[in-house]
Structure 1
Amino acid sequence: MKPTSSSPAARTLAAALREEREARKVGLRRLADRLGVLPQVLSLWEKGQRLPSVEDVSAILALLGVTGEKRDRIRTLARHAREPNWLASSNADISHALTALLTFEGTATTITTWSPLLIPGLLQTPDYIRAIMNASSVPVEEADKRLRIRLKRQEVLARPEPVRLSALIGERALQEPIGGADIMSDQVDHLLAMGRRNNISVRIVPAGNGYHAGLLGPFEIYDFADTPPITFVEHVQSSAFLHEGTQTVAHQRVAKMLGERALSEAASRDLLEEAAH
């Protein structure tokens, strides 16, 4: 059964409800009995194949003992579940935005990523990730957590049926000495190795060719087997998940334009090999 709503907030709500139940080791049938609903209905809610009401979500959270900010965030997701776009714009939204990324990356068939100034997250080495964290003054404990999560996210590229990744990377991302020369050399070697995989395409968009719409910022497009695509746009203090058709089409057009500007995979390998030395 396809989701009744494939919006970013609806899919994140489903994942959040499932996570909270499983974190408390409460069985699906047991929770359904306490709610007074059929287990099949609760299962559909947790899979995003049917949308619960805000009242149903409140009842679930109360039975699971979810309180405070976390309860408020999940209730907010429920209120916005039918809206096509979702803006995660506060620190309180960070955990749900991350849940959304894990959900979309894990269920996508293809991911198209455009990264003009940094190596895309799914292709970053641990040392490159750590260098970014250090430069961002992230506390050590939080940096360790983010590193583990990012490396966990990368597993979608190596699972038995891996996601297809089309990575369009700005040439300037290779020129920024993130962490120093040794870390960048290892990072470029990693790009070369990942680009040899059948499910991964790494192409470099040359710098110095004037203005194009990609200079406005990075984005990712998640394509799914049975639901419309979702576009992810990240800013300093907010993240936007775009599901509205016009928004997605606009980003698909930019991705197509970037693909036309990008070097071929072979020429990109040559450039990377030169940059690695």
Structure 2
Amino acid sequence: MAKKRAYACYRELGAELRKRRIAAQLSMSQLGYSLGWSTTKVSRVESGHIGLPTTEVLHYLGPCEVLLPQALDLLDLCRTAERKLGYWLSPHGEWINNQLHSLIFHESTANESVTYESLLVPGLLQTPEYARVRISREKTLTQATVEQYVQVRLRRQEILHRPKPARFEFYIHEQALRLPVGDATVRHEQALHLALLSTLPHITIRVVPTQAGERSAFGGSFAVYGFDRHTPLVYLDNHITGMFLEKPGLVQPYQTLVPEIADVALDAKDSREFVATLADEYDLGSSQSNDQHVVAEEQL
């Protein structure tokens, strides 16, 4: 008999519930005893194989001593999961300022990831300074908040360096690599960082060249996450929201698009050479800028 499918929202909800149980220093058997549940039921709730209504979520959280104000985000996620629409919004996008880290959870539990970026270097591959310049453009953010978001970005990147990492494939449009984010030094370090990461056996970076013309236009950025025991998930990132797609009919077009992008992109070796050459170009630009600055100071 096939196992019951664990929907992505319920997997995330179960993981968050488990965190609350562990924080309360309760074992599954202890929590199950308090709730009148079997240990198996607790386990299947935390793995996402049993979906709970909001009343049962509150019932679960009671022995964990989680009060209603601290449970509101979990209840919102539960309501989203109950709808089973096959898609849902993550209202904070990548800028995480609450306890639900949807993107990080699904990204870190996938065993393979394919990302296409048309305008910017993917967040998982950004250097701290590139990320800082990118995030600082938000004029409403304080410097402390900017640094907080930079640290979130860097924590996301830890999945690239786990002992048994997933397989990552990145398709980056050339225009994203040439977009003037920061000064030449920032762009040089970013391009060099990409060249170094591309040498890791579980990371493939491929450049989509602008010389391919209209054949290089594939729309907005997206990521496709693959899982050993679950159906694929697509993530679309926007300015203030992120959207997850789980319904097969919504995911399949993006899965079909990946080989089309691969047909146009440079291969891994040529892409590595491309970003290395770009790093040299930016390094030269940085040197010229410094020379001009020195000349200007001497003239003063």
State the TM-score, normalized to the length of structure 2.
0.83
Q: In the alignment, is the contact (CA less than 8 A) between 2:133 and 2:182 conserved in 1?
A: yes
Q: Which residue of 2 aligns with 1:120?
A: 122
Correspondences of 1:235-250 after superposition (within 5 Å):
235-250=238-253
* Deviation of the 1:140 alpha carbon: 2.9
CA distance in 1: counterparts of 2:174 and 2:99, whole angstroms? 28
Cα 1:2–1:143 change in 2 (3 A) is farther
CA distance in 1: counterparts of 2:194 and 2:92, whole angstroms? 33
Identity of aligned residues (%): 28
Q: Deviations over 1:5-25 (max 9, x none)?
A: 433311221122122233344
Q: Deviations over 1:213-262 (max 9, x none)?
A: 85421010001112110000011121111011111110112222111110
Counterpart amino acid of residue 81 in structure 1? A
Deviates most, 116-125 or 31-40: 31-40
Q: 2:106 aligns with which of 97, 104, 121?
A: 104
Q: In the alignment, is the contact (CA less than 8 A) between 1:4 and 1:48 conserved in 2?
A: no
Q: Which residue of 2 aligns with 1:257?
A: 260
CA distance in 1: counterparts of 2:213 and 2:241, whole angstroms? 28
Cα 1:72–1:175 change in 2 (3 A) is same
CA distance in 2: counterparts of 1:233 and 1:162, whole angstroms? 23
Partner secondary structure for residue 87 of structure 1: strand
Deviates most, 221-230 or 96-105: 96-105
* Deviation of the 1:179 alpha carbon: 2.1
| Number of corresponding residues | 276
Q: In the alignment, is the contact (CA less than 8 A) between 2:10 and 2:49 conserved in 1?
A: no
Partner secondary structure for residue 251 of structure 1: helix
Cα 1:26–1:256 change in 2 (3 A) is same
Q: Which residue of 1 aligns with 2:49?
A: 49
Q: Which residue of 2 aligns with 1:136?
A: 138
1:228 has 2:231 as partner: yes
Q: In the alignment, is the contact (CA less than 8 A) between 2:171 and 2:207 conserved in 1?
A: yes
Partner secondary structure for residue 108 of structure 2: helix
Cα 1:221–1:2 change in 2 (3 A) is farther
Rg comparison, structure with higher value: 2
CA distance in 2: counterparts of 1:143 and 1:6, whole angstroms? 36
CA distance in 2: counterparts of 1:47 and 1:216, whole angstroms? 35
Q: Which residue of 2 aligns with 1:185?
A: 188
CA distance in 1: counterparts of 2:55 and 2:273, whole angstroms? 58
Q: 2:202 aligns with which of 189, 199, 202?
A: 199
* Deviation of the 1:166 alpha carbon: 0.5
Counterpart amino acid of residue 220 in structure 2? G
* Deviation of the 1:69 alpha carbon: 5.3
Counterpart amino acid of residue 79 in structure 1? R
Q: In the alignment, is the contact (CA less than 8 A) between 1:6 and 1:227 conserved in 2?
A: yes
Q: In the alignment, is the contact (CA less than 8 A) between 1:170 and 1:204 conserved in 2?
A: yes
CA distance in 2: counterparts of 1:177 and 1:126, whole angstroms? 16
State the TM-score, normalized to the length of structure 1.
0.89
CA distance in 1: counterparts of 2:98 and 2:121, whole angstroms? 23
* Deviation of the 1:207 alpha carbon: 1.7
* Deviation of the 1:152 alpha carbon: 2.1
* Deviation of the 1:56 alpha carbon: 1.2
Partner secondary structure for residue 51 of structure 1: coil
CA distance in 2: counterparts of 1:25 and 1:133, whole angstroms? 37
Q: Which runs of 5+ in 2 are unaligned?
A: 281-300
Counterpart amino acid of residue 263 in structure 1? L
CA distance in 1: counterparts of 2:106 and 2:2, whole angstroms? 15
